[in-house]
Amino acid sequence: MEGWRKPPVGAWLEVVSDYDERHIPVLREHVLELLAPVAGDVVLDLTVGLGGHARMLAEAIGSEGVMIGLDVDAGNLATARQRLGDAPCRVVLERENFTQFDDVLSTHDVDRVDVLLADLGVSSLQLDDAERGFSFRREGPLDMRLDPDSEKKAVDLVNAMREDALSDLIYFNSQERFSRRIAKRICQVRREGRITTTTQLAEVVCSALGVRADSHKSKTHPATRVFQAFRIAVNDELGALETMLKKAPDYLNPGGRIGVIAFHSLEDGLVKRDFRQRRNDGVYDVVTKRPVIAGPEEREINRRSRSAKLRVARRCDEEGK
């Protein structure tokens, strides 16, 4: 592809190899190769999380580069701060929703960036923390907020929404085909008392489907899609992604790269359609004709990588080049 630079893959991968094994950044070789950061680049990591990708990209942009990282989760941001403490570049970390990334850029007098990365969803630390309520495998409050300061929790939706609205929420956010049956069961159970924990909700789903949770050990847990649906709703994840995708081209330098790692088809579909539309409008070159997925080795060592899909596009200049 014209204007494409040889990717500087290699040494920087070592930087994350000794990193906290609880969080291995997904598709890291592909992120480096396709986002191709070079010395002096300005990188915006919209979901800095535990700083895995950010640290790797920071090494690549060197002392002349700038790394700007955002996250809504103060705990993750603190880990990223530590992780990037001795990074070679200038580092700016802000607790902010990525829908507001333009405000952060303007606060720091940055007009445009060269690399923009969004690794969507939850980090493994958030998933593993029972108190955050993301996991049906761990007993915890039905919370599911990525930003612990936001108001709406999963418990509020589960216990207050009407049956038809619950059914729609589950269907549209996860394509769960038994959404009606599950919504009906939720409403029956909550008449007896509020559903307040993750394991309670998981049991309600299993009973609606007439299955036992432990009968699905090797396959996907029956409540997986329902948990995804509530998490998406609590955090307005699809709305946030749409807002970010809409703003992105105005903040990318010509030749700049945007990469989005999605973990389910609703997210990936939004990214795919956005990139395709902008390619047709002469705004982006789509670098990944198909989404990039993890190879067998990565899938083996990092469970989360199994559903990861990376798409990358390159910002064209005014003449569409």
Ligand X SMILES: C[S@@+](CC[C@H](N)C(=O)[O-])C[C@H]1O[C@@H](n2cnc3c(N)ncnc32)[C@H](O)[C@@H]1O
What are the structure tokens assigned to 78, written together? 């603190």
CA pair distance 169, 175, nearest whole angstrom: 9
What is the SS3 assignment for 126? helix
Lay out the site mask for ligand X across 6-35 (x = CB under 6 A, - = otherwise).
Answer: -----------------x-x----------
DSSP letter at 118? E
Which amino acid is it at 311?
A: R
CB 80 → ligand X: shortest distance, Å?
7
Q: Could you give the maximum distance between any two Cα atoms of the chain, in Å?
A: 64
Binding mask 88-127 for ligand X (x = CB under 6 A): ---------xx--------------------x-xxx----
In the complex, the smallest distance separating the C-beta of residue 24 from ligand X, rounded to whole angstroms, is 8
Name residue 42's beta-bridge partners.
66
Q: How many CB atoms lie within 10 A of CB 164?
A: 11
Least gap, CB of 51 to ligand X (angstroms): 5
Instruction: Annotate each residue in 217-256 with x if it binds ligand X (CB under 6 A) or - if it does not, as one string.
Output: -----------------------x----------------
How many residues touch ligand X (CB under 6 A)?
21
End-to-end CA separation in angstroms for the chain: 11
Q: Which is nearer to ligand X, 126 or 198 (CB)?
A: 126
Work out how close the CB of 13 gets to ligand X at its nearest, in angstroms, rounded to a whole number. Answer: 13
Q: Show the tokens assigned to 292.
A: 């990039």
* CB 238, min distance to ligand X, A: 11
Exposure pattern of 138-148 as b/e (b: 16+ CB <10 Å)?
bebebbbbbee
How many C-beta atoms lie closer than 10 Å to residue 255's C-beta? Answer: 16
Where in 34-73 is the site for ligand X (CB under 6 A)?
47, 49-53, 70-73
Residues found near ligand X in the complex (CB under 6 A): 23, 25, 47, 49-53, 70-73, 76, 97-98, 119, 121-123, 146, 240
